[in-house]
Amino acid sequence: MAEYNPQAIEAKWQKRWAEARVFETEVDPAKPKYYALEMLPYPSGMLHMGHMRNYTIGDVVARVKRMRGFNVLHPMGWDAFGLPAENAAIKNNMHPRTWTNNNIAEFQRALRRFGFSYDWRREISTCEPEYYRWNQWFFLRMLERGLAYRKKSRVNWCPQCCTVLANEQVVNGYCWRHEDTQVESREIEQWFLKTTQYAEQLLDDLKELEGGWPERVITMQRNWIGKSIGARVKFAVAEVAGVEPIEVFTTRIDTVYGASAIILAPAHPLAQRLIAGSPQQKDAEAKLARMRQSSMKTEDLAIAEKEGFFTGRYATNPFNGEKLAIWVGNFVVMEYGTGAIMAVPAHDQRDFEFCRKYDLPIRVVVQPLDAEPLIPEKMTAAFDEHQRGKLVNSGPYSGLSVDEAILEMSAHAQAKGFGRRETIFRLKDWGISRQRYWGTPIPVVYCAKDGIVPVPDKVVLPENAKLTGEGGSPLAATPEFVNTTCPKCGGPARRETDTMDTFVDSSWYFYRYCDPHDDKAPFDSAKVAYWFPIDQYIGGITHAILHLLYSRFWCKVMRDIGLVKHKEPITRLFTQGMVQKGGVAMSKSRGNVVGAMEMADKYGADTGRLYTLFAAPPEKDLEWSEESIEGAWRFINRVFRLVDRHAPSVRDAKHWDFSPQGLSEKERELVRVTYQTLRRVTHDFESRWHFNSAIALIMELTNEIHAAEPLEAGVRPEIRKEILEMLVLMLAPMTPHLAEELWEMLGHADGLWKAEWPIFAEAQKELARVEEVEVVVQVNGRVRAKLTVPAGMSEADLVPKALAIPAVAQHINGKRVVKQIVVPDKLVNLVVA
């Protein structure tokens, strides 16, 4: 009797897989391809079981597809640039490269220890010049096309990170890395990528992702892009000399005659100027300062108490010359539209609430066609269903439908020069400049003669920059780097010292896996054409906007450059649940982490893999439980002992021919439950990804086999072998080392990696079929119907079925059943009186 020894078994098979190059793949047009990918990790700290769940799910998918005959690309790499490495390096007085590479080595050790089926030849690390030079190459292509540009602008600045943040990295006014650090607004020059040029496509192509992406991710992207069709209207400010008009964006220009105020966002650049010198100056300034401080969280805007104050100034409605009070309101934000709105309380709910509170006039300018006319004093909510309305009290536009009025009034504003039709997006261009060291240098120089000049060769990050963490770009303080010659005129020039946002690195890394060592181009388009799009991408919901939106943008740019032909890089996206311990997500800072290596050392990788798959469906959160790990461990041991006991007597058995003839009752039952399990497990792997229920089915099958012991009594060796082989093959994607070992024990000299997923052929289908019988249904001894049911159905199940038959019900006809006579598999006789 052998003992299950995971350490020895797992090392043995990992070595064999490596020697046989099992997971190395190349383009093969003769085979269908499958690209399975988990989001590349940021190598910091240690890999814990929360991470491993993600990779285990991806590995099961890759292994199932491989067994089903696909040519599977399943690579791994490192998102190696970034602030945490730079900060940790400063703290530990170490070079970021050393810190990062140490972490990569640790991560690699853990991923290899778990036996994930990666093609390690394709490993990439984004901090290596062989990789990031292509970031620079892409940047220059975008520069040539006007998709990369430099401008002075207000930026989000995190005082903790000492760098600029993209809008996507500001979470409700706070830094995405520093939950307690409020983001400041600073004005500096920086580089942008024109994501807004693709706003319409990014929105439209979301349609292509339906069915393949989680609905909520699509919704989050749609909202982030935030398209609104409307008009921009200028309201001149009365009585203040030299102030430019206030521009308002509205989707309902048709309601302009119903405006009762102009409301500015607290951050609106005009707010301060309007207040200065007004009768309310002192009071208003205090209120403004308070409002600016309490930067409202976006999701709170809709429900928060609306606050505001009058600036003491007025603007003129360009349509009718009416004076409108200018207010500042906490529910108006600079990030959307122009940061100023016209308040139309009768036809917008937020305006209604605000104007009611501050007693501003409510004017109805759209009356419903199919209801009593609205009376302002009696309204309890705004009337904003524009499809049902007709304009009133709107000068020459009265009588028009809303849609007609929008067209005519926009045209009028345009003709008179105080407005125009406009489609706006919430999406902003992507600011990529970072004043930090550990990132891709932006490949341009500044020349006194030629201005901004691109650097065609790769710009390598100098290793000797001084990192202090005290703000300012470390590269700017490295004269050997800064001072250079202009590639155009040969004169002296100064290098750009900002580095790129690391989201640039992850926007296209999955293309590089297709051709990781190409030194002529970012990748060979033919290879990418074979492997793309990604069939299954797996990662956390936290990347629903940032990474996935940038990746989609990058894909569209690459298509326009002519590098790829597809519209979208990712066909299917799966967002797995978190692993929790003690009710909160595993994280180093919370100290509730179970390390991957710790797990592997104690139980082995297969138990760790099986447990994370079994404890919850993959999309749900998983609560870590030591008890359940013990359960997984015991199950694996049980399977091992089962195969070990029977292997000697079946290993030389011939292959069973699936013939149903001559099956004993015991054989028939075991074969049936085996193939039924295979059918259901196959279904779980193929469609639902309910690995947990697949494992439960395999456990049940194991129980059935145990219950039939001793198998030697009444089950022929070839059938015993068939049953055990099915069990092992079904376990192979989840516990691959164990399965290989058992496969070998069952007499296969070739690795299981060469075996195919068992096909559920006609022969097996027939054997899996539950036998059916015909049961005669009588009422008072006369045959009234026949029932076809699975053999062995109990009396308790049979009688209700019989009663439900219309022909039977008709003959009972409301009478009472006084007696029922049931002969299982044959007869139901109902006696009524």
Binding residues (CB under 5 A) for Zn ion: these are 158, 160-161, 175, 177-178, 447, 449-450, 486, 488-489
Q: Which is nearer to Zn ion, 436 or 737 (CB)?
A: 436
Q: Which is nearer to Zn ion, 371 or 489 (CB)?
A: 489
Closest CB 177 distance from Zn ion, rounded Å: 4
Length of the chain: 833
Closest CB 163 distance from Zn ion, rounded Å: 8
Closest CB 135 distance from Zn ion, rounded Å: 22
- Spatial separation of the C-alpha atoms in residues 787 and 785, rounded to whole Å: 7
Element (H, E) at 391: strand 389-391
Q: What are phi and psi of 766, to 5 degrees?
A: -65, -40
Closest CB 292 distance from Zn ion, rounded Å: 20
The answer to whether 167 and 182 are in contact (CB under 8 A) is no
Q: Which is nearer to Zn ion, 153 or 160 (CB)?
A: 160
Three-state secondary structure readout of 477-527: HCHHHHEEECCCCCCEEEECCCEECCHHHHCCHHHHCCCCCCCCCCCCHHH
- Spatial separation of the C-alpha atoms in residues 193 and 430, rounded to whole Å: 5
The strand pair at 33-38 and 71-73 is best described as parallel
Q: Which is nearer to Zn ion, 157 or 314 (CB)?
A: 157
The answer to whether 616 and 692 are in contact (CB under 8 A) is yes
Within 8 A by CB and 6+ apart from 98, the residues are: 89
Closest CB 290 distance from Zn ion, rounded Å: 25
The answer to whether 191 and 432 are in contact (CB under 8 A) is yes
Query: How is 434-446 classified by DSSP, letter by letter?
Result: ES-SSSPBP-EEE
Q: Which two tokens stand for residue 564?
A: 């790829």
Closest CB 161 distance from Zn ion, rounded Å: 3
Closest CB 91 distance from Zn ion, rounded Å: 15
Nearest CA to 353 out of 316, 387, 381 is that of 381
Closest CB 684 distance from Zn ion, rounded Å: 43
Nearest CA to 116 out of 67, 52, 70 is that of 52
Task: Provide the 8-state DSSP code for 14.
Answer: H
Q: Which is nearer to Zn ion, 178 or 412 (CB)?
A: 178
Angle at which helix 596-603 crosses helix 605-614, to 10 degrees, equals: 110
Q: Which is nearer to Zn ion, 81 or 689 (CB)?
A: 81
Q: Which is nearer to Zn ion, 160 or 401 (CB)?
A: 160
Question: What is each CA distance from 233 to 123, 237, 266, in whole angstroms?
Answer: 54, 13, 20
Closest CB 230 distance from Zn ion, rounded Å: 35
Q: What are phi and psi of 52, to 5 degrees?
A: -65, -30
Q: Which is nearer to Zn ion, 451 or 792 (CB)?
A: 451
CB atoms within 10 A of CB 658: 15
CB atoms within 10 A of CB 294: 12
Closest CB 158 distance from Zn ion, rounded Å: 3
Q: Which is nearer to Zn ion, 177 or 641 (CB)?
A: 177
Q: Which is nearer to Zn ion, 494 or 679 (CB)?
A: 494
Closest CB 279 distance from Zn ion, rounded Å: 42
The answer to whether 439 and 191 are in contact (CB under 8 A) is no
Closest CB 84 distance from Zn ion, rounded Å: 11
DSSP-assigned beta bridge partners for residue 184:
157
Nearest CA to 734 out of 55, 60, 134 is that of 60
* Three-class secondary structure of residue 390 per DSSP: strand
Buried b (16+ CB within 10 A) or exposed e, 612-641: bbbbbbbeeebebeeeebebbbebbeebbe
Q: Which is nearer to Zn ion, 184 or 335 (CB)?
A: 184
- Spatial separation of the C-alpha atoms in residues 523 and 526, rounded to whole Å: 9
Q: Which is nearer to Zn ion, 155 or 271 (CB)?
A: 155
Count of alpha carbons within 13 Å of 705, Cβ hemisphere only? 27
The answer to whether 346 and 356 are in contact (CB under 8 A) is no
Closest CB 78 distance from Zn ion, rounded Å: 22
Angle at which helix 736-745 crosses helix 605-614, to 10 degrees, equals: 120
Closest CB 466 distance from Zn ion, rounded Å: 21
- Spatial separation of the C-alpha atoms in residues 614 and 61, rounded to whole Å: 15
Q: What are phi and psi of 171, to 5 degrees?
A: -110, 105
Q: Which is nearer to Zn ion, 12 or 488 (CB)?
A: 488
- Spatial separation of the C-alpha atoms in residues 270 and 66, rounded to whole Å: 62
Closest CB 478 distance from Zn ion, rounded Å: 21
Q: Which amino acid is at 640?
A: F
Closest CB 453 distance from Zn ion, rounded Å: 6
Element (H, E) at 431: strand 430-431
Q: Which two tokens stand for residue 793?
A: 């159905």
Nearest CA to 153 out of 195, 183, 190, 194 is that of 190
Task: Provide the 8-state DSSP code for 655.
Answer: P
Q: Which is nearer to Zn ion, 488 or 668 (CB)?
A: 488
- Spatial separation of the C-alpha atoms in residues 207 and 203, rounded to whole Å: 8
Q: Which is nearer to Zn ion, 147 or 183 (CB)?
A: 183
Q: Which is nearer to Zn ion, 179 or 359 (CB)?
A: 179
Closest CB 149 distance from Zn ion, rounded Å: 20
DSSP-assigned beta bridge partners for residue 237:
315
Closest CB 447 distance from Zn ion, rounded Å: 3
